[in-house]
Amino acid sequence: MKTKLLFLIICLAPFAIKAQSSSDTCSAADSATHITSGGTYSITSFNGTAPVAGCSSGSTADNGEWFAYTPVNDYQVVISSDISGNNGKDTKLQVYDGSCASLNCLANSDDDGEDVYSRLSVVQFNVEANKTYYIAWDNRWDSSAFDFILTETVQQPISFTEDPRNGGGTVRGAVDMNNDGLDDIVSIVAKNVNDSNVYDINIQEQTGSGSFIGNDYPVSAPYSASWSLAAGDYNGDGYTDLVWGNGSGVNIIKAINSGTDYAIAETQSGIFTQRTNFVDINEDGRLDVFICHDIAPNIYYMNETSGLEFYQGADPNGVPEGLGIYPSGGNYGSVWVDYDNDGDIDMFMAKCGGGEARRTNQLFRNNGNGSYTEVAGAANLADPIQTWSGAWGDYDNDGDMDVFIGGYNGTSHKMMRNDGNGTFTDITPTTNLGFFTYTGIDNVPADFNNDGFIDILSNGNILVNDGNPINMSFTAYTSGVPPQGAIGDLDNDGFLDVVSGSKIYYNNGSTNKYVKIKLNGNGLNKAGIGARIEITTGSGIQIRDVRSGEGFRYMNSLTTHFGLGVDTSVTSVKVYWPSGIVDVLNNLSVNQTITVAEGTTLGTESKTFAQDLTLFPNPAKSTLYVKTKYNLSDAIYTVFDISGKRVLNSKFGRNNTVNVSSLSTGTYFLRVMQDGLSHTQKFIKE
C-alpha cells in the first residue's frame, strides 16, 4: 500500500514549492491564506502550539506548526514527508476537520514512511470540496526543517477498508450457511498436518455488523477446493449444501443435523473440476449439480427421487443432452442465465485451452421442455479467446442480460450487448474497456457503489459502470480495490464486501440506498436458484438472476442485492420462480432485506388482458393455436399440468402456437404473460 501511495505522489504531485507558510496556531492558520491545491510545502521552524486534540498519543510534543487546507473539489488526498531530502528526519503528522475550537481527528502518522526512511509520515484520506481541514506537524522527535507533499486525486466512487479475517483454509464462499439471512464466510481447510489430502469446512458465521463466530466442521472430503465452490440447498431441508473440487475429483457435501454438521453426499475421482453450479437442469423442481470438466465432457448429478445420480456428457435417459460434450473438455466457467427473457434458465460455457474447437465459447438455449440447443454461433458469442469466465448482467438496465467476456493470458475481453432478439453485438469500443488490459480468470457482476448500475470485479480490479445506458461505458480502477474473492454483505450494511485470502475488504459505502431480496422457495430449491427478480423504482427497472456459481472460483451471496441510488422507495418487486410461479410485492421501503416465500404474494391476473383469448383445437394433438387481438410476439407462455408443475415454457413466435406434442394425455393450463399482465386458460391434450 505504501509503495502505491508513493507512486501517486511521484507521478501526480507538482513539486514546485508553494507560497503558503505554516502558522503557529490552528486559529492563525485559519486566518492565513489556505492551501487550496496540491503541491510541495515547507516548514522552516517549530515555534508554535503543539497539537494535542484527538490524534496525539504518548508523550506530548513541545511545539507544532499548522496549515489550513480547503480543497476546491472532492479528492482523495495523500500528505507525505517520505520524500527525497528528508532522509534521516523524524516527523509526526496530525490531520483534523471541525473547527479550531472543536477539532476532530481524521488521520495521523508517525513512523509510516517506507521508501526513503521509515520514521517519516504518510496519511491518506478523502476530502469534500470547500470544507476546511487542519494539518499539524509537531517536533515530538525532530525540530529540523523539512518539506512535505500534498497530493490530490479524484476520489474513487468506491472505497474499502481492509480487516483481518478469522479462520484458516482457502476462502471460497460468502453465503448464508445457517439460514439466518446473513452472509457467512466459507473456507476449505486441510484436516491436519499429517493428512493434507483430507479436507474439512471452516465457517465463520456472521452475527451482524461485521462480527463472526467460527466453527470447524470435519467432513474428511478427499479433494481440496483448488478451483470453484458452489452452494445451494439441494435436499430442501433449509440449510446450505456445497460442491467443490480440484484437478483430481469432486466432493458434494450436505448439511445434516439441522445445519449443525456436514457429511459427504457424493465424491467422485477422475474429474478435473472447474466451475461448479447448483441448478435445476431439467426443470423438475429439484436442484441438480453441474460440474465443468477440464479434460473430458461435463458432469451432471441429477437430483432424482432416489438421490443424486451421476451422468456425463450426452445421455438419452431423461438427462439434457449436449451440455458440453467436447471429448477433451475445455469447460471452465459455466453461468446459468436467462439470456433470452423467456422465463427459463439457459447456460453460457466459457471455454479455454487447446485448439480452436476446444476453446470456443458455447451458449445453450433452454428449449423449455428440459432439453437444450447450442446457439453460440447464431448469438455471436462463439469466441475462441481463452475466456475462463463471463460476467452476465443487465449493464444498461434495458431489461435483458448483457455479458462481459473475460480475456485470459493476453487475449482481449469483450463487452457484448444483448440485442433482445437472441443475438449480441460487440460494443467494446464505446465502453472504455478497450483500454483495460488486465486479464485473468475471474469476472463477476456486482453493484458495489449502490448507484443502480452493475459494476464488474475483474481479476482484482473494479470496472465501475458510469451509468450511461447508450454507450454502456465503464471506468477501470486498478488500485485501492479488493483482490478477487467471494462477494457478499459481510457487515449487513447493504453494501457488497469482498473476502479474499486472509482479509475482509469492507465496502465503505455511501448515502446510496439498497434493497436485498432473500428467497424462500418450495420443494428442493429453497434459495430459488434460477429465479429472475425484477424491481421497479422511480429510476426504472433492474433485473437479476439468482445464481449458484459465477465467475470462476468463488461462491457469492444467494441474497440478491440491488443498489437504488437516490431512490427512496421501491414500486414493485416481481419474482419469477423456476416453477413458473410469479410473486409480486408493491410499495416497499428501501434499506432493508425482504424475504419472499414462493407463492405467498401471487400476482393477480389482469381482468382485461387477453380476455378474448381462445385455444384451438381443444383438445389438441400436437399444436395448440392461440388467438387474441393482442400482439403476443414477445409474450411468454407457460404450461402447467394438473398438479401445478411447469412442463413447458417459451416465447411465442410469429404465429402464436404452442408445440404440445411432448405432453402426455391429460388436462393442462396455459398461462400467457406480457408486460406484467397474465391470463390463464385450460386445455386438453389428446
Give 317's pLDDT tier (boundaries 50, 70, 90).
low
> For residue 11, what pLDDT is reported?
35
Instruction: Give the pLDDT mean for 601-626.
Output: 86
Instruction: Give the pLDDT mean for 596-622.
Output: 86
> For residue 318, what pLDDT is reported?
63
CA proximity to 550, closest of 171, 346, 343, 275:
275
Cα distance between residue 631 and residue 275, in whole Å? 41
Cα distance between residue 418 and residue 398, in whole Å? 9
Whether the per-residue pLDDT at 436 is higher than 90: the answer is no
The 3-state secondary structure of 318-369 reads CCCCCCCCCCCCCEEEEEEECCCCCCCCEEEEEECCCCHHHHCCEEEEECCC
What are the Cα distances from residue 456, in Å, to 60, 122, 229, 284, 523?
47, 31, 20, 33, 33
> For residue 608, what pLDDT is reported?
75
List the grid coordinates of 259.
Answer: 445445519
Whether the per-residue pLDDT at 7 is higher than 80: the answer is no
Cα distance between residue 550 and residue 557, in whole Å? 11
Instruction: Give the pLDDT mean for 585-612.
Output: 88
Cα distance between residue 379 and residue 86, in whole Å? 61
Give 667's pLDDT tier (boundaries 50, 70, 90).
very high
18-47 pLDDT per residue, tens: 668 899 999 999 999 999 999 999 999 999
Q: Which residue has the higher pLDDT, 184 or 673?
A: 184
List the grid coordinates of 569.
Answer: 422507495
Contact indicator for 661, 668 with CB cutoff of 8 Å: no
Instruction: Give the pLDDT mean for 61-89.
Output: 91
Whether the per-residue pLDDT at 624 is higher than 60: the answer is yes
**Residue 23 DSSP symbol:** B
Instruction: Give the pLDDT mean for 133-148.
Output: 93
Residue where the block lists cell 448515502:
511
Contact indicator for 646, 639 with CB cutoff of 8 Å: yes
Instruction: Give the pLDDT mean for 159-183.
Output: 94
Helix (H, G, I), strand (E, B) or coil at 281: coil
3-state helix, strand, coil in the chain (%, to 5): 5, 45, 50
Give 155's pLDDT tier (boundaries 50, 70, 90).
confident
Cα distance between residue 461 and residue 314, in whole Å? 38
Rama region for 558: left / alpha / beta (φ>0; ψ in -120 to 50; rest) = alpha
List the grid coordinates of 416.
Answer: 457484448
Contact indicator for 254, 241 with CB cutoff of 8 Å: yes
List the grid coordinates of 192.
Answer: 491436519
Distance of CA 301 to the CA centre of its chain: 26
Cα distance between residue 250 and residue 278, in whole Å? 14
For the ranges 8-12, 38-42, 139-143, 238-242, which has the lowest average pLDDT?
A: 8-12
Give 354's pLDDT tier (boundaries 50, 70, 90).
confident
> For residue 646, what pLDDT is reported?
87
**Residue 33 DSSP symbol:** P
What are the Cα distances from residue 306, in Å, to 240, 246, 309, 310, 524?
20, 27, 8, 12, 13
Cα distance between residue 612 and residue 614, in whole Å? 6
Instruction: Give the pLDDT mean for 264-288.
Output: 95
Helix (H, G, I), strand (E, B) or coil at 638: strand
> For residue 418, what pLDDT is reported?
97
Contact indicator for 454, 394 with CB cutoff of 8 Å: yes
Greatest mean pLDDT among 43-52, 107-116, 305-314, 497-506: 497-506
Residue where the block lists cell 454461433:
377
> For residue 85, what pLDDT is reported?
87
The H-or-E segment that residue 476 falls in is: strand 474-477
Whether the per-residue pLDDT at 535 is higher than 60: the answer is yes
Give 486's pLDDT tier (boundaries 50, 70, 90).
very high
> For residue 14, what pLDDT is reported?
40
Whether the per-residue pLDDT at 196 is higher than 80: the answer is no
Instruction: Give the pLDDT mean for 97-107.
Output: 93
Whether the per-residue pLDDT at 194 is higher than 70: the answer is no
Q: In whole numbers, what is the pLDDT of the chain averaged over residues?
A: 90
For the ranges 120-129, 377-386, 395-404, which has the lowest average pLDDT?
A: 120-129
Give 116's pLDDT tier (boundaries 50, 70, 90).
very low
396-434 pLDDT per residue, tens: 999 999 999 998 887 888 999 999 999 999 999 889 887
Neighbours of 661 (CB within 10 A): 12
Distance of CA 98 to the CA centre of its chain: 37
pTM of the model: 0.79
Give 1's pLDDT tier (boundaries 50, 70, 90).
very low
Helix (H, G, I), strand (E, B) or coil at 244: strand
Instruction: Give the pLDDT mean for 75-96.
Output: 90
For the ranges 36-45, 309-318, 348-357, which has the lowest average pLDDT?
A: 309-318
List the grid coordinates of 450.
Answer: 449502490
Distance of CA 662 to the CA centre of its chain: 38
Greatest mean pLDDT among 81-95, 130-144, 457-471, 486-500: 486-500
Residue where the block lists cell 509510516:
112
Give 15's pLDDT tier (boundaries 50, 70, 90).
very low
Instruction: Give the pLDDT mean for 509-523.
Output: 95
Whether the per-residue pLDDT at 10 is higher than 80: the answer is no
Contact indicator for 460, 482 with CB cutoff of 8 Å: yes
> For residue 58, what pLDDT is reported?
57
> For residue 316, what pLDDT is reported?
61
CA proximity to 632, closest of 379, 380, 327, 342:
342
Instruction: Give the pLDDT mean for 443-448.
Output: 98
Greatest mean pLDDT among 35-44, 468-477, 638-647: 35-44
Contact indicator for 570, 588 with CB cutoff of 8 Å: yes
Instruction: Give the pLDDT mean for 563-574.
Output: 96
> For residue 61, what pLDDT is reported?
87
202 strand-pairing partners: 187, 216
> For residue 19, what pLDDT is reported?
65
Peptide bond into 617 cis (omega under 30): yes
Whether the per-residue pLDDT at 3 is higher than 70: the answer is no
Strand-strand pairing, 593-597 and 513-520: parallel
